[in-house]
Amino acid sequence: MEGAHPLILKKIVETNEMKTEGYGIDRFSEQAREKIRIACQAPHAEVHFLCGGTQTNSIVIGALLRPCQGVIAALSGHINVHEAGAIEAGGHKILAIPHRDGKIDADQIQKTVNSYQHDLNREHMVMPGMVYLSQPTEYGTLYSLKELQEISAVCRENNIPLYLDGARLAYALACPENDVSLCDIARLCDIFYIGATKCGALLGEAVVIPREGLIPHFFSIIKQRGALLAKGRLLGIQFQELFTDDLYMKIGKPAIQAAKRIREALKQQGYTLFTESPTNQVFCVMSDREQKELNRKVTFGYWEKFDDTHTVIRFATSWATREEDVEELINILKAL
Amino acid sequence: MEGAHPLILKKIVETNEMKTEGYGIDRFSEQAREKIRIACQAPHAEVHFLCGGTQTNSIVIGALLRPCQGVIAALSGHINVHEAGAIEAGGHKILAIPHRDGKIDADQIQKTVNSYQHDLNREHMVMPGMVYLSQPTEYGTLYSLKELQEISAVCRENNIPLYLDGARLAYALACPENDVSLCDIARLCDIFYIGATKCGALLGEAVVIPREGLIPHFFSIIKQRGALLAKGRLLGIQFQELFTDDLYMKIGKPAIQAAKRIREALKQQGYTLFTESPTNQVFCVMSDREQKELNRKVTFGYWEKFDDTHTVIRFATSWATREEDVEELINILKAL
Amino acid sequence: MEGAHPLILKKIVETNEMKTEGYGIDRFSEQAREKIRIACQAPHAEVHFLCGGTQTNSIVIGALLRPCQGVIAALSGHINVHEAGAIEAGGHKILAIPHRDGKIDADQIQKTVNSYQHDLNREHMVMPGMVYLSQPTEYGTLYSLKELQEISAVCRENNIPLYLDGARLAYALACPENDVSLCDIARLCDIFYIGATKCGALLGEAVVIPREGLIPHFFSIIKQRGALLAKGRLLGIQFQELFTDDLYMKIGKPAIQAAKRIREALKQQGYTLFTESPTNQVFCVMSDREQKELNRKVTFGYWEKFDDTHTVIRFATSWATREEDVEELINILKAL
Amino acid sequence: MEGAHPLILKKIVETNEMKTEGYGIDRFSEQAREKIRIACQAPHAEVHFLCGGTQTNSIVIGALLRPCQGVIAALSGHINVHEAGAIEAGGHKILAIPHRDGKIDADQIQKTVNSYQHDLNREHMVMPGMVYLSQPTEYGTLYSLKELQEISAVCRENNIPLYLDGARLAYALACPENDVSLCDIARLCDIFYIGATKCGALLGEAVVIPREGLIPHFFSIIKQRGALLAKGRLLGIQFQELFTDDLYMKIGKPAIQAAKRIREALKQQGYTLFTESPTNQVFCVMSDREQKELNRKVTFGYWEKFDDTHTVIRFATSWATREEDVEELINILKAL
């Protein structure tokens, strides 16, 4: 809802008149890449800056898969629900499997692969070609290190790349319940992105390929898909700042605290939480009456119908959420 | 498993030395089109001849949908399972919904449309743009006239084209339980195809658009998708014969009788039928031991795993199935 | 090479903490749309904000064309040369025709259409489905009002949409030789974009559809193609500023003057200009020796090989080019 | 214009009632594959049977190229002119280069590659990813062995696969002027197809990959693209016959002789041949008056406009052309 984190905006202003090369090979972008490599302990990682989540997902998935391959993902995965069919528009089926609070597990992935491999008609079917996870998930839940290790092991045994969508990764990293570090992700995934659009930047996602060479000609593919910014420095400058003084690791903290307070208040008021997520998203079941009344005072997200008379609504806190806003929301909820 | 129906083959041989124009505008193709229009009571119908089911489905669906639109289909639909991702390769998501014995109903379709229309995030989602049915379904079951009327009504209310995949349509038409005629299909659907590859021809499917103009430039789209035969007459000749003396209406009869006898024999032997289908496909649950033994004497289709020790197998009879073959199979089953 | 125009940056800073809705339906974006409508005298125009030229071209062209249709463009058109095959990746052929200094004319367009329509094999060919122009062209030249009127007339007679790529439009509008106003473009084209990335913004292009409804579901298509910014306001804020106090009309002036001085200096030094363009791009033929020497002191653009020992290089001035930079360049050129 | 060669038709009839597996893994298809491997002296070759030229070209090219790669071809190449944009619909640009009588040469290919590699903006451009040739060409001309060796050498030096479209290959092989054998093609190309649709079969093209493994999952890709015939045997039976007793090597002979006689008669009558082709296609320039008159008695192909009052027309002879037909045509031409 706001613009950029003040430190990021400051940097954009400070560097505004400096001259650089275009298309993301400027010194700011190079510095940002190096800082990300250090934060990931992945010294040979390729880092590419893109503009948004759907763009990143469709380019990465489209570039990784061969024709006839599909991507294993949770039914609730962002790519399966809220990207207007971007993955299919790129030619690939989403092999959607059931989730538990937004998560899938190693066992399900192995079963999906087995089911394909043992099917005598498999050459008439879509081959599982990669796995898509979100951290945190679309329901705000987190994969534990153990879960991620198991998934990574299954993927490597089956020679299937693992891709992690980190649109809101800062909120996972800021979460006390989280035990998965950026280095863990870089070690366990074949490709992932560090989201900034929803974590303090004006826009920007950093695709990280820990072991370079996974996708030949990725720069040209980015250009072809219309995702190469002429002023690529805009992304570089922001990521450079996000990876200075651990800003990216800390930026989600206020959001986590705010979400926790909202969750507690909702429970206290007798509302049902739709999922028990530890991150910055709060999903709450409300009657249509309550929802309508709340809507007169507060802007919130519609998630889905719960039943004929109830709706799941979503509050997403952010790095910019202020304590007084949380107070006010809680007071409104109390008065509902 | 065999080649063509003898009458069709005879026609191919008789016409072999006649000279005609190429690309499907020859006199045989024109006559076939006219006969199909008469059989469908659709005097203005456009008729296009294609080579196979996956080709037809992907061309029709790709040509009908706008970007961002998807096709509603049963989870068990051929396009969703056994076409190697052809629809997605053409850029479109399959909005797969649960089925009952391979069928979906008008209510489910309306709910899918409602769910899209009432979702406040719908512009980030795939819009239902058409409906795909198979008659008979992949499980050999049939839509009744009432069911098809209801589905058609829902589609027209919502301004969504209805497409029917008739890969095995002759087996539906030959079935005593069936109450849906070719004219009903032409009246209730916006586009459908009459399958011949699996119904007596060497190859061939006839796409029928009862109300012409649904898909502009369809001829060029067929060419672009590599589906235009230089010797298009090969398809025309076969369809001309299939629609002479009601051959297409009668050709499935032996298959239906053979399938009925196999089903009865299986039940008598205590096997569980996976679905109760009235058409030419018989789905039977067998233990892996039985299956293995049977496999030494008979070639049959693998359908899917039933549980850890059982498999669903499929017998598909055809216009060419002989009584003695059925006898032999039944004797083998008895001896298992 | 620089960031944003100071006024734009100022606006981004001022509005940074204001809360707005996401995805481009915020008040800044709405105000920007309204200002653009007024500037174009197109009160019903649809306005959509995108991030870059290749993205805009591939989305517009992909959304406008039907399968089997292609886009008529100059061989030198940006879409044909420097977009890494983005249009073809979207499924469409570029019907490239010869150009004169980057321009094509009404007569060529009519001939291309005629040639298709009179070809008896046309259903096996790509149908001309739209026309693509750039103003200014890739060679920095300008279409005159008369030329644009003639092209528009031919397009309308043939019922083929006319699309204008205005990546550097501000430099055309600031040019004394130019007689085509924004209102002319809105009147004569069916869709066009007003470029900002290269005209003072951090990033941003405004697609204008003067007569709404040309492309159904365009919002969803933008989302599907990964081009919808979560913080769409970033684009809205910039365009709002660009269309305040005629900034967009004036912003190119310094670039035009600087380019003129460079051209004059080059001629004085005896260099050959590759084209006589009146806008902010200067194309000059240099021997490889000169080029190498110049390269030690100045960063410039490589355009193409001229012959075995010469290269065409490009200087592009901008709103941010300072007089002292021009002086310095001229001194370096003199000393070469 | 006719159906199949009598020997092929005979084989189809003889085998009609035999039962085989579907989808091209039947014994006829396997035998045909083996015979083709022997004829090509390529014992490890992969052989896949498809239905038509456009289908084959679009599947092969789409499967071989990576995103951002394009295919080098003659401006006159079938893929560039008469396939309704099939290659672009598959996502790839045709890097069309000038031809001489339908042919391109090794030097042009090397220059195209160099031009890409030396262009500093190459990452914004389409990378040459393969080469497409036709033998005979669209103008009926032939590559000599020397020309093909040179092209192959350039392709291998640059690590770019060479693909040869053999839609009318039988007419090249039957031509006295031809010095390129099937074994030469298998040795010098990375992938090619042996055309049968225009060389005696009802339909069918055999894709040959001399060194297996060039395209992983090619079977599934064929399925996905709708090109897998359920009764794949139809193709296998025909190719088995075509490669029995050297039929494919001899089948074009009558066509070559007929074409030669037509060419001589045309020259005698004072007509201008558009190209001097040695194969089964005759291209002749006729005034519009002559053309119109001829059209009342003979069906021929429209090729292209020559000038305002003349047209290039095409006569294509075939394996089925009879001497008396040639006589009659020549008499008509004399009387014109």
- The chain D residue lying nearest C92, using CA atoms, is D88
Q: Write the DSSP symbol of residue D163.
A: E
Residue type, C302: Y
Do D312 and D241 fall into the same domain?
Answer: no
> What pLDDT, on the 0 to 100 scale, is given for residue D211?
93
> What pLDDT, on the 0 to 100 scale, is given for residue D49?
98
Cα–Cα distance between B72 and A176 in angstroms, integer? 43
Cα–Cα distance between A175 and A142 in angstroms, integer? 9
CATH number for position A235:
3.40.640.10
Do C182 and C326 fall into the same domain?
Answer: no
Cα–Cα distance between C71 and C129 in angstroms, integer? 6
The whole-number average pLDDT for the span D39-53 is 97
Q: Please tell me which of the candidates C85, C115, C123 has its beta carbon nearest to residue D126.
A: C85
Query: Does residue D154 form part of some domain?
Result: yes
pLDDT over 90, % of chain D = 87
**pLDDT digits over C270-299, tens only?**
999 998 899 999 999 999 888 888 888 888
> What pLDDT, on the 0 to 100 scale, is given for residue D59?
98
> What pLDDT, on the 0 to 100 scale, is given for residue D298?
85
Chain CA centroid to CA B293, Å: 31
Listed by number, the residues of chain D in 97-156 with a beta carbon closer than 8 Å to a beta carbon of chain A are: 123-125, 127
- Chain D residues lying within 8 Å of A220, measured CB to CB: 67-68, 123-125, 127
Do D123 and D74 fall into the same domain?
Answer: yes
Q: Which helix (H) or strand (E) holds D218?
A: helix D218-224
Q: Please tell me which of the candidates B198, B203, B226 has its beta carbon nearest to residue D234.
A: B203
- Chain B residues lying within 8 Å of C227, measured CB to CB: none
Query: CA dist C317 to A46, B104, C171, C215, C262, Å?
Result: 32, 62, 10, 35, 9
Q: Burial, C275: exposed, middle or buried (Cβ in 10 Å; 0-12, 13-18, 19+)?
A: middle
CB contact under 8 A, A302 and B68: no
* Ranges of H-type helices in B41-85: 53-64, 78-81
Please say if the pLDDT value at position A176 is more than 80: yes
pLDDT grade, residue C135 (50/70/90)? very high
- The chain C residue lying nearest D126, using CA atoms, is C84
Query: Does residue D109 form part of some domain?
Result: yes
Cα–Cα distance between D243 and D36 in angstroms, integer? 7
Cα–Cα distance between B285 and B282 in angstroms, integer? 10
pLDDT over 90, % of chain A = 87
Query: Using CA atoms in the order D25, D26, D27, D28, what is the torsion angle rounded to 10 degrees?
Result: -100
Say if pTM beats, i.e. exceeds, 0.90: yes
Cα–Cα distance between D178 and D174 in angstroms, integer? 8
**pLDDT digits over A115-167, tens only?**
999 998 999 999 999 999 999 999 999 999 999 999 999 999 999 999 999 99
Do B260 and B156 fall into the same domain?
Answer: no
Work out the mean pLDDT of chain C and round it to a whole number: 95
C216 touches B at CB < 8 Å = yes
- Chain B residues lying within 8 Å of A117, measured CB to CB: none
Strands B281-287 and B310-316: antiparallel
Cα–Cα distance between B286 and B293 in angstroms, integer? 11
Residues forming beta bridges with residue D324, ordered by sequence position: none
Chain CA centroid to CA C254, Å: 18
Residues forming beta bridges with residue C328, ordered by sequence position: none
Please say if the pLDDT value at position D1 is more than 80: no
> C66 phi and psi, to 5 degrees?
-85, 160
DSSP symbols for A179-233 = ---HHHHHHH-SEEEEE-TTTTSSS-EEEEESSTTSSTTHHHHHHHTT---TTTH
Length of chain D: 336
**pLDDT digits over A201-232, tens only?**
999 999 999 998 899 999 999 999 999 999 99
Tokens of B223: 């060419």
A216 touches C at CB < 8 Å = no
> What pLDDT, on the 0 to 100 scale, is given for residue D192?
98
Single out the residue in B250, B276, B301 at which a domain terminates: B250
Work out the mean pLDDT of chain A and round it to a whole number: 95
Residue type, C87: I
CB contact under 8 A, A84 and B305: no
Query: Does residue A1 form part of some domain?
Result: no
Tokens of A74: 């949770």
Q: Looking at the complex, report in whole angstroms how far the Cα of residue B276 sits from the nearest Cα belonging to chain A.
A: 23
| Chain C partners (3+ C-beta pairs within 8 A) | A, B, D
Query: Does residue C1 form part of some domain?
Result: no
Cα–Cα distance between A331 and C164 in angstroms, integer? 53
Q: Number of structural domains, chain D?
A: 2
Do B20 and B123 fall into the same domain?
Answer: yes
Cα–Cα distance between C224 and C287 in angstroms, integer? 47
Q: Is the CB of residue C94 less than 8 Å from the CB of residue C73?
A: yes
- Chain B residues lying within 8 Å of C68, measured CB to CB: 217, 220-221, 223-224
The whole-number average pLDDT for the span D103-117 is 97
**Largest Cα–Cα distance in chain C?**
63
Q: Note down the domain range covering A261.
A: 253-335
Please say if the pLDDT value at position C57 is more than 80: yes
**Largest Cα–Cα distance in chain D?**
63
> What pLDDT, on the 0 to 100 scale, is given for residue B238?
98
Cα–Cα distance between C33 and C44 in angstroms, integer? 10
Q: Is the CB of residue C77 less than 8 Å from the CB of residue C96?
A: yes
D85 touches C at CB < 8 Å = yes
- The chain C residue lying nearest D80, using CA atoms, is C125
- The chain D residue lying nearest B53, using CA atoms, is D226
- The chain D residue lying nearest C119, using CA atoms, is D304
> What pLDDT, on the 0 to 100 scale, is given for residue C298?
85
Please say if the pLDDT value at position A29 is more than 90: yes
> What pLDDT, on the 0 to 100 scale, is given for residue D303?
87
Q: Please tell me which of the candidates C68, C127, C224 has its beta carbon nearest to residue B68.
A: C224
Q: How many helices (H) and strands (E) does chain B have?
A: 15, 11
Lowest mean pLDDT among B30-34, C105-109, C139-143, C306-310: C306-310
Tokens of D128: 């040459």
Do D221 and D258 fall into the same domain?
Answer: no
- Chain B residues lying within 8 Å of D227, measured CB to CB: 55, 226
> What pLDDT, on the 0 to 100 scale, is given for residue A305?
85
Of the candidates B22, A116, A58, which has an alpha carbon nearest to the alpha carbon of residue C222?
Answer: A58
Query: Does residue C25 form part of some domain?
Result: yes
Query: Does residue B1 form part of some domain?
Result: no
Do C139 and C258 fall into the same domain?
Answer: no
Using H for helix, E for strand and C for coil, what is the string for chain C?
Answer: CCCCCHHHHHHHHHCCCCCCCCCCCCHHHHHHHHHHHHHHCCCCCEEEEECCHHHHHHHHHHHHCCCCEEEEEECCCHHHHCCCCHHHHCCCCEEEECCECCECCHHHHHHHHHHHHHCCCHHHCCEEEEEEEECCCCCCCCCCHHHHHHHHHHHHHCCCCEEEEECCHHHHHCCCCCCCCHHHHHHHCCEEEEECCCCCCCCCEEEEECCCCCCCCHHHHHHHCCCCCCCCHHHHHHHHHHCCCCHHHHCCHHHHHHHHHHHHHHHHCCCEECCCCCCCEEEEEEEHHHHHHHHCCCCCEEEEECCCCEEEEEEECCCCCCHHHHHHHHHHHHHC
Sheet holding D162-166, edge to edge: D46-50, D205-209, D191-195, D162-166, D127-134, D69-74, D94-97
Please say if the pLDDT value at position C34 is more than 80: yes
* Number of other residues whose CB lies within 10 A of the CB of residue D290: 18
- Chain D residues lying within 8 Å of B86, measured CB to CB: 223-226
Query: Does residue D1 form part of some domain?
Result: no
**Chosen from B88, B111, B114, B300 to mutate, greatest number of chain A CBs within 10 A:** B88
Chain CA centroid to CA B41, Å: 20
CB contact under 8 A, C85 and A229: no
- Chain B residues lying within 8 Å of D3, measured CB to CB: 12, 15-18, 231, 233-234
D251 touches B at CB < 8 Å = no
> What pLDDT, on the 0 to 100 scale, is given for residue D238?
98
Query: Does residue D35 form part of some domain?
Result: yes
> What pLDDT, on the 0 to 100 scale, is given for residue B297?
86
Do D94 and D160 fall into the same domain?
Answer: yes
* Number of other residues whose CB lies within 10 A of the CB of residue A136: 28
CB contact under 8 A, A124 and D66: no
CATH number for position C266:
3.90.1150.10
Do D216 and D299 fall into the same domain?
Answer: no
Q: Looking at the complex, report in whole angstroms how far the Cα of residue C234 sits from the nearest Cα belonging to chain A.
A: 7
CB contact under 8 A, D92 and C85: yes
**pLDDT digits over D25-40, tens only?**
999 999 999 999 999 9
DSSP symbols for B182-232 = HHHHHHH-SEEEEE-TTTTSSS-EEEEESSTTSSTTHHHHHHHTT---TTT
Tokens of A128: 């599982």
- Chain B residues lying within 8 Å of A91, measured CB to CB: 85, 88-91
Q: Please tell me which of the candidates C66, C124, C220 has its beta carbon nearest to residue B68.
A: C220
> What pLDDT, on the 0 to 100 scale, is given for residue D40?
98
Do A126 and A207 fall into the same domain?
Answer: yes
Tokens of B31: 């006559």
Do A103 and A176 fall into the same domain?
Answer: yes
3-class SS of residue A167: coil
A304 touches B at CB < 8 Å = yes
Find the distance separating the first CA and the last CA of chain C, reported in whole Å.
24
Of the candidates B154, B155, B157, B133, which has an alpha carbon nearest to the alpha carbon of residue B144?
Answer: B133
Do D96 and D212 fall into the same domain?
Answer: yes
Cα–Cα distance between D3 and B231 in angstroms, integer? 7
* Number of other residues whose CB lies within 10 A of the CB of residue B76: 21
Residue type, C66: R
Residue type, D325: D
D298 touches B at CB < 8 Å = no
Cα–Cα distance between A58 and A185 in angstroms, integer? 20
Q: Burial, C330: exposed, middle or buried (Cβ in 10 Å; 0-12, 13-18, 19+)?
A: middle
> What pLDDT, on the 0 to 100 scale, is given for residue B150?
98
**pLDDT digits over D288-334, tens only?**
888 888 888 888 888 888 888 998 999 999 999 999 999 999 999 88
The whole-number average pLDDT for the span A312-321 is 91
Q: Please tell me which of the candidates D68, D82, D88 has its beta carbon nearest to residue C84.
A: D68
Residue numbers in chain B where pLDDT is lower than 50: none
Please say if the pLDDT value at position C1 is more than 80: no
